[in-house]
Amino acid sequence: MKCIKTMQVFLLVLFVGVQLSYSQNCTSNAGGDVIICESQVALTGSVSGALGAGGTTWSFVSGPGTPTIVSPNNLITNVTGMMNGGDYLFMLSNVCGVGVSESFVTVTANPRPASFNAGSDITNVCATVGSVNLNGVIPAGFTGTWSATSLANSYFYGANNSMFSDTTIGNPVFSLVNATNHDYDPAYTLTLTITSLDGLCVYTDDMVVKFCPNPEINVRDASVCLDSDSSDGFYDLYTPPFFNSNYPDASGSIASGTTITLNVISQPTGGNMTFVSMDRNRLNFGGLSVSGDYTYTLTIDSCCGTYTTPSATFTVNGASPRPVNFQVAGHRDPEQLTLYAYMGSSGEVHCGTSGLNTPELFYFDLDPLDSPALVSAVTSSGVLPPGASTPIVTVFGAGTMNRYASVAPGASGWMVGTYAFRVNLLDGLCGSDSYYYIHISDNSRQPISVPDVDICYPGAGTVSVTVQLPDVYQEVINSSYFQDFLGGYEFTIISQPAGSLSLQFESLSERELTDTSTVISNLSEPGDYVIRIAPYNGSGVGPFLEQEYACSGITQLFDEFTIRVDQQINADAGSSQTLSCSADVFLQGNSYGAGVGTWTLVSTPVGAAIPTIVSPNSQQSNVEGFDAVGNYEFEWTISSPNGICTSSDIVSMSFSSLSPSSPTISTILPDCTNFLLGSITIDIPLPNADLIYSIDDGATFQSSNVFTGLAPGDYIVLYYSNSIGCNSYTVSVNLPSAICPDLSISKVVDNATPNIGDTVTFSITALNNGPSDATGVTIVENLPNGYTLVSATPSVGTWVAPNWIVGSLANGATEILTVVVTVNCNGNYTNTVFISGNETDPDVTNNSASELTIPIVTPPSFVENLSIDIILECDETIPVAEVLTATDDCGVPTVTYAEVSTAGSCTNNYVLTRTWTATNSSGLTTTHIQNITIQDTIPPVFTSNLPQDIVADCNEIPEPAVMTATDSCGAVMIVFEEERIDGDCLNRYKIVRTWTATDDCGSSTMHEQTLSFYCEIETFNAVSSDGDGVNDEFILEGIACYPNNKLMIFNRWGVKVFERNDYANHMFRGYSDGRITVARGEKLPTGTYFYVLEYEYEYAGEFESRSIKQSGYLYLTTGK
């Protein structure tokens, strides 16, 4: 190729602004101040301008604790450990090309304090005491507020009858307004809420105060009618104390230690009065299945004491009629609608009847279980619309189950508003009421509409918004309009930001149709919260609302509105700069996230031109056109995405002098013979005494005005004069790239998976990709030791191993070298070739090529037959390991042998693992494994004579035999056990003896011997028939075992005085049974007597029966 000759070129300078000499020539930005409700934060810094070698450093300046900066040398770092609440000040510093720039950021941390708590629960304090001292802790840096809710029913009761001496301190006195006569259950959940002083971070803790109720309730006589189909009834107490037993956490519940016991004094026959519950001032009873008087007392036991009420009488007059049914066949929705307000209430809506006099009819049926003889009456109730006459009501269908009322509006005609009617049924003393409403619409409803709401989120904690509800019309059009109607607005969340907390809505009682606004709270993340609002009646919109809006042509009874939450980002304009010369300046603001950032000029020195902010909506912008000494101020303003939140900060730039003129530049351009490197020479219009030079926009300087060894690219050239103290104007210089030939090499092999000893051919292709010719081209082919060279044939040039000398290679030319080799048994099989030339190659990535063959090498194989796995008993001989040999294509493999013993569950149980491994010269292996399992499964054998079963007298128990045993593989342990088994009577039993021989591995042999014993009868021959309870009878122990017996007793003259077959104990007590010397039944005299006992000695076929005869002397003492 033809190379460009070396030339010195003088370039025209291009002025691109003014580079400056700084007290610091870079600016840092530590980010905007933040508030957090936790103990860690991410600091995000930024920097612009000329940076020096020192880098970035975050440091902690001051604060209530010492936090940890995780990555102090990164612009973005986490900070942890801000456990103490307060302001933490951090500094971001960056080493500039000249000087150091610093910026500060304050993090206000409000983590949940470790010391914060509401205190321990307080229970078992009698309500008559009425107060307790709380022990909550409100940490410094927070304000606190106490609140209370009823544990019995927070929705209805709230915090009734309770108060704090001071809701803002940690240890106030909490007390009952009415202590002895508490009119609500005295059990409360107390919540201590603390809020950081900035109002952003909120934490809560709960505790329980549970006063025991005053048991001295004031029962009274009551007379009631029960609901139909129910035996339950109730009445209300008139004077406190009141409490609840029907909620498990209430102070009056059994779980809280309070019991209420019903004491029935009298009740009608068939009644079964029970106490059900106390619901504040309402006593509920069950079992009132019969009409009449139920007289009772109640016993209440609590930590205040035990109290039994005076007696009271609960009179049941009967059952009230069931409510009427307004959903009559042929007159249901949309004619007669339900539900209006109360259970069973109904009504109708009219759109265009205002001013008309046409009567309206409504229909109702009696309950099928009620009698058609019930008396019904319909009367006007509630508030009449303004100007309305009292309606005239006529009821039809008396004595039937199906009735209706005709309602005429009177002289005024129907007026806009809602008419209420009471439908009364009466059965003796008991009656029931149902309500019907006729609504005359004003036809003026507007579509459901709620305006969007914007709110600024401070970046921590949660925020709340007040939402405007639709226009109020209930009881506003006039006082009768939708009177008694139970309606409100319900909210459905359509979408909310990811990760945000669940929204909290006010209770239904705070967003009724009569409310003008409501509060939605717990908004915790920036973004759009889309919410649907719809009016409701009961569990949904309801037909009354549907028809009311339909009268105004409105069919869509909902609206969707958006709460747009923007996050506040506190603006930080970066560090101010003190500058020695006029120059272009970089402004460095903090990140504005998804919002908008704007730079504006605030002030300039007197008489100065207005500088230009190049990128006024960019976080980083340079400013051009400084032409005066003095102070310039710039403001950085951050607006949130919807413009809801804004913040701003001001930074100043101070200049003390102007910069010198620009330099003149000469260059030597890169070419193909100087390795693509050039040089820049800076010529200046000032003496050389105090000058330094830079080609990187002042980031680094040197004393020489010549810069060599420069790669192609763009350079910004300037010089600095110590005498003036300023940089010169900058000049942009470009060193273009030289045009040089690109050589490449490639290689292919004809067989990538040859066998050992095969011949393969490598084809090596040299290519000049241009754009110029190449000279001195050489290819190096270093054949690896996995091959043996057969031949090398070049298409041009000469081959002198390992070099193929090509010489010149024209632009686009290709040459080929063919190399034939044989594959060796082992070695390196990766063949790599390299190409080079005289010129500098612009792309060296294609100057080498490799080709790998993978010879097919088989692992060695064993010559002998291989042994198999075997299992041996512990007393069998283990075979000697075989000696194995192996064969292979590349020589004689080596064979190694190893043997490992693995212990089993006992000494004589183990596994021998024998491993033979054959390895060839290529490192391939073949392995054979044999497992020999040794086991001990044969149990021991007794070597002594085995004792046999015997039958013997209980006085002839033999000693246990001493047994011996042997085992083929080890020691034997013999365990002897003996168990007595009682028979069917005292004198018959068995002994079972067991010998168990066990070897080391748990195999065992057992022998069992059974000894059956039968005892003769034992006599107790002293009888003292004196009634003292000792030896009063003649006892024959064991006689019950031998019922076939005969006992005879003789006096000293041989006269029989007693005889009895089947003798049982306690029969002879010293009285005669004879007929000769002593009369039957008389007490015998004291003396010595002789007895003869005969019985059959046998036992369930164990041996043959035999007759036994026992005799002996009997000593009798009778006191006669």
Note the pLDDT of residue 365.
96
Rounded-to-integer distance, Cα 151 and Cα 209, Å = 9
**Above 80 in pLDDT, residue 739?**
no
Tell me the whole-structure pTM to 2 decimals.
0.54
**Above 70 in pLDDT, residue 23?**
no
* pLDDT tens sequence across 681-700: 878 765 555 778 888 877 88
Based on the domain organization, do 91 and 148 belong to the same domain? no
Confidence of residue 72 (pLDDT cuts 50, 70, 90): very high
Extract the tokens encoding 551: 């009268």
Closest CA to 126 of 248, 310, 301, 308: 301
Note the pLDDT of residue 14.
31
Single residue among 682, 706, 735 that ends a domain in this structure: 735
Confidence of residue 18 (pLDDT cuts 50, 70, 90): very low
Q: What does pLDDT average to over the chain?
A: 87
Note the pLDDT of residue 417.
96
What is the DSSP-derived secondary structure letter of residue 856? B
Range of the domain at 755: 746-852
**Cα 929 to the chain's mean position, in Å?**
51
Q: According to the 3-state scheme, what is the secondary structure of 790-845?
A: EEEEECCCEEECCEEEEEEECCCCEEEEEEEEEECCCCCCEEEEEEECCCCCCCHH
CB atoms near residue 517 (< 10 Å): 12
Asked whether residue 330 is assigned to any structural domain, the reply reads no
Asked whether residue 43 is assigned to any structural domain, the reply reads yes
Mean pLDDT over residues 874-903, rounded?
87
| Between residues 923 and 925, the one the model is more confident about | 925
**Above 70 in pLDDT, residue 728?**
no
**Above 50 in pLDDT, residue 399?**
yes
Based on the domain organization, do 846 and 766 belong to the same domain? yes
Contacts of 1083 (CB under 8 A, 6+ apart): 1025, 1070, 1071, 1072, 1118, 1120
Query: What CATH number has the domain bearing residue 162?
Result: 2.60.40
What is the DSSP-derived secondary structure letter of residue 470? P
Which range (150-159, 402-411, 1005-1014) has the least confidence? 150-159
Rounded-to-integer distance, Cα 739 and Cα 337, Å = 93
Asked whether residue 797 is assigned to any structural domain, the reply reads yes
Which range (416-420, 495-499, 749-753) has the least confidence? 749-753
346-350 and 430-440: which strand pairing? parallel
Query: What CATH number has the domain bearing residue 816?
Result: 2.60.40.740
Based on the domain organization, do 869 and 818 belong to the same domain? no
* pLDDT tens sequence across 168-195: 999 999 999 999 999 999 999 999 999 9
Rounded-to-integer distance, Cα 961 and Cα 948, Å = 10
Asked whether residue 325 is assigned to any structural domain, the reply reads no
**Above 80 in pLDDT, residue 43?**
yes
Asked whether residue 422 is assigned to any structural domain, the reply reads yes
Rounded-to-integer distance, Cα 143 and Cα 202, Å = 10
Note the pLDDT of residue 617.
93
**Above 50 in pLDDT, residue 10?**
no
Asked whether residue 324 is assigned to any structural domain, the reply reads no
Which range (498-512, 684-698, 949-963) has the least confidence? 684-698
Note the pLDDT of residue 972.
87
Single residue among 852, 873, 895 that ends a domain in this structure: 852
Q: Where are the beta strands (DSSP E) in 320-469?
A: 346-350, 360-365, 375-381, 392-396, 402-408, 417-427, 430-440, 453-457, 463-468
Asked whether residue 339 is assigned to any structural domain, the reply reads no
Single residue among 1014, 1033, 1055 that ends a domain in this structure: 1014
Q: What percent of the chain has pLDDT over 90?
A: 47
| Between residues 719 and 377, the one the model is more confident about | 377
Based on the domain organization, do 750 and 839 belong to the same domain? yes
Per the CB < 8 A criterion, the answer to whether 551 and 583 are in contact is: no
Note the pLDDT of residue 776.
87
**Above 70 in pLDDT, residue 1066?**
no
Helices marked H in 22-73 — which ranges?
none
The DSSP annotation for 389-408 comes to PPPEEEEE-TTSSEEEEEEE
Based on the domain organization, do 134 and 187 belong to the same domain? yes
Mean pLDDT over residues 925-946, rounded?
90
Note the pLDDT of residue 818.
92
Note the pLDDT of residue 814.
93
Per the CB < 8 A criterion, the answer to whether 484 and 578 are in contact is: no
* pLDDT tens sequence across 99-109: 788 889 999 99
Per the CB < 8 A criterion, the answer to whether 425 and 385 are in contact is: no
Per the DSSP assignment, residues forming a β-bridge with 767 are 744, 814
Note the pLDDT of residue 538.
65
Based on the domain organization, do 648 and 663 belong to the same domain? no
Note the pLDDT of residue 237.
96
Confidence of residue 8 (pLDDT cuts 50, 70, 90): very low
* pLDDT tens sequence across 369-393: 999 999 999 999 999 999 999 999 9
**Above 70 in pLDDT, residue 238?**
yes
CB atoms near residue 1044 (< 10 Å): 13
Mean pLDDT over residues 487-512, rounded?
91
Based on the domain organization, do 709 and 750 belong to the same domain? no
Note the pLDDT of residue 1031.
82
The DSSP annotation for 877-928 comes to PPPPPPP--EEBTTBPPEEEEEEEEEE-SSTT-EEEEEEEEEE-TTS-EEEE
Mean pLDDT over residues 196-221, rounded?
94
Total tally of structural domains belonging to the chain: 10
Note the pLDDT of residue 582.
52
Based on the domain organization, do 176 and 250 belong to the same domain? no
Based on the domain organization, do 618 and 665 belong to the same domain? no
Mean pLDDT over residues 197-205, rounded?
89
